[in-house]
Amino acid sequence: MKKLFEKGTIGNCRLKNRVVMTAMTTGNAGKNGQPTEQLVRYYEERAKGGVGLIVTEIFRVNEEHGVAIGNQLSALDVNNLPSLARMVARIHSYGTKIFAQLHHGGSTNVPAMNGGKLYAPSAIPNVSGIVPEPLTLEQIEELKQQFIMTAVMCKAADFDGVELHCAHGYLLCEFLSASSNQRTDQYGGSLENRCRLPIEILHGIKAACGADFPVMVRFSVDEYDPDHEGSITLEEGIEIAKRFEAAGADALDVSCGNYFSKYGENIEPYSYSQGWRKANSKAVKEAVKVPVIAINTIKEPEVAEQLLEEGCCDFVGVGRGHIADPAWVRKAQTGRSGEIRKCIGCLYCFETLTSAGYVRCSVNAQAGREACLAEPVNNGDGRKIAVVGGGPAGMQAASLLGRRGFDVTLYEKEAQLGGALNLADKTAPYKVKLTWLKDTLAGEVERAGVKVRLGEEATVETVAAGRPEAVFLAAGAAPVRPALPGLDGANVVQAHDVVAGKAKVSGRVVVIGAGLTGLETAKMISGEVESLAIVDMVPQLGAGMYPGIFVDIMRQLAAVSPTLLPGHKLEGVGDGVVRLTRLEDGAAVELPADWVVLAMGQKPDSAAVAAFDAAFDRVVVLGENRRVPGRIATSLSDAYIAAFAFDPEA
């Protein structure tokens, strides 16, 4: 991987390699916009991991109507400068450069955080149907000066440069796009007018900070928004790129999409392939001479290297990959790509940011908790620990305990490690990302010196024979099969047996349960059956799923037009039929069915927990023995925290 680790420059800023950690909001700034110790540690871990340039999460430039989230960085308050400067110094200590991203959300902001009002170029309804107020010329001038002043303050804090956020349907993108900018003054109409505000800001920053202070522009080269006339397409996006270059931009950070993009083009779920955007960035690179940074759903360093070799960009943007593994660059550079905990595209980072206000990661329990989950204490001193279950939770607990110096034995009843991952990675070709995770976890177990006993079901007696001081129980859960008429029939099978290839269904198939397991199983068999129906008691299919994942799965299922029956309760299975009750009115409903696939969730093995509790003084319950329904995120997080905090002296 020669190109990935070549030095490069953005303006007068020299970078040690070609990897840029692109901006992603964490929600970990302080209430007054200052960087907290948690936020500093988050960035510091990525700098320690070898990345060449970090672009921070968004800095708000306006306190009245520019607040995107509650805990958002701000440089407008002079009291924040010392803490910002300390953060920059800690990043610089690893030879990593850092740019501040300047942002105003426009109509995407939340009215409650902005005095009850939203402002945008024009009174065009946002994705929620809220109509913003058009900015006046006086407000535009004030906003321009606030962007410039934020850049000045960031330079004073020793940032290496700034990035203007002109992408994803935020305010400056709204000015660029004719679909959201219907002004008739000098800031609307022609492309020249629509580019005027970001270019005036760029010129103002250069005038105030000096021509040699780097300014990058992140923009959506294609909004992927065919439903709104005038949205930016690739052809116009290339013209926008040329105008930014002519205006003095030192680099272009090529992104795409907005909040109206139907299928998450700017926040891709796991079905999208690495490099799917590369034609966009290559078209921009061929049109300009300044460096081009491109995000391309990069998970693997080898793909990043290939994109550089193909001339798709000058620098690769690795965003979520750095949430998943802060040492992404260092592992790649030292020939340990197989040890990278690669992003699996599950969007849990976005889910937690929108639901809880802070970022977490399915595959990295430390993400967003770097300040409290530091390097674990090595105080195992060879004490024996048994871990029961070789799924995600068991592997995570075993490897961390092994790293801490415990003598760990991991029991797994199947012939291979992986647990539920051995099924989840089979529902679609793109779920190979879960195979990556399984293999990475297994590698960590091996490197930690854990003794692995495969094909051996761990009973109280077999575990007790090893004389462990504690047992970590992560033996999984069993699928639910209600005691209803006909559910013991040969034509009623569990989803996991279908996925594993142990049960073959055909003809008219009814899937009971429309959570992630049910929908993915339905999608897997959709091309092999005569007809497909999906049933759930809840009024909305995909309950509990992140919307981006749900929309993506339903888009794929739409090709076979399945019958969708939310709000229906399973009553039983008869001869060639499934009997339901429509909960809205209590009406009886019958569906023809040759096969019935149950995806009704899991139930913990409470008997196993009770048996181990009775036999051992210290039992730590993990995985689906602890939480049902189980998720990769909660299984790995619970296991990491339990193994991290385990005190052998307690």
Q: Note the pLDDT tens digit of each residue in 218-244.
A: 999 999 999 999 999 999 999 999 999
pLDDT tens-digit profile of 531-561? 999 999 999 999 889 999 999 999 999 999 9
- Calculate the CA dihedral of residues 147, 151, 156, 159 and round it to 10 degrees: 140
Task: Give me the CATH topology for the region 384-479+603-645.
Answer: Rossmann fold (3.40.50)
On the question of pLDDT at 360 being above 70, the answer is yes
pLDDT for the residue 490: 94
What average pLDDT does range 31-49 have in this prediction? 97
pLDDT for the residue 428: 84
Q: Which sequence positions are flagged as catalytic?
A: 170
Provide the percentage of residues in the chain whose pLDDT is more than 90: 91
Angle at 183 between CA 178 and CA 186, to 5 degrees: 105
pLDDT for the residue 544: 83
CATH of 3-356, one of 1.10.357.10, 3.90.190.10, 3.20.20.70, 1.20.120.790: 3.20.20.70
Mean pLDDT of the chain: 95
Strand, coil or helix: 223: coil
On the question of pLDDT at 124 being above 70, the answer is yes
pLDDT for the residue 424: 84
Reading the block at residue 191, the tokens are: 């492309």
On the question of pLDDT at 625 being above 80, the answer is no
On the question of pLDDT at 127 being above 80, the answer is yes
Report how far residue 226's alpha carbon sits from residue 261's, in angstroms, rounded to the nearest whole number: 8
On the question of pLDDT at 350 being above 70, the answer is yes
pLDDT tens-digit profile of 377-427? 999 999 999 999 999 999 999 999 999 999 999 999 999 999 989 988 888
What average pLDDT does range 335-346 have in this prediction? 97
Report how far residue 64's alpha carbon sits from residue 576's, in angstroms, rounded to the nearest whole number: 63
Strands 8-10, 13-15: pairing kind: antiparallel
User: What is the band of 628 on the pLDDT scale with cuts at 50, 70, 90?
Assistant: low
What average pLDDT does range 557-579 have in this prediction? 95
CATH-assigned architecture of domain 492-600? 3-Layer(bba) Sandwich (3.50)
What average pLDDT does range 347-356 have in this prediction? 93
On the question of pLDDT at 374 being above 90, the answer is no
On the question of pLDDT at 486 being above 80, the answer is yes
Reading the block at residue 69, the tokens are: 């989230």
On the question of pLDDT at 630 being above 80, the answer is no
| Radius of gyration for the alpha carbons in the chain, expressed in angstroms and rounded | 27
Domain map (residue ranges) of the chain? 3-356, 384-479+603-645, 492-600
pLDDT tens-digit profile of 500-532? 999 999 999 999 999 999 999 999 999 999 999
pLDDT for the residue 605: 82
Fold match flag (384-479+603-645 vs 492-600): no
pTM for the predicted model, two decimal places: 0.95
Which of 434, 586, 595, 443 is CA-nearest to residue 507? 595
Reading the block at residue 462, the tokens are: 């077999």
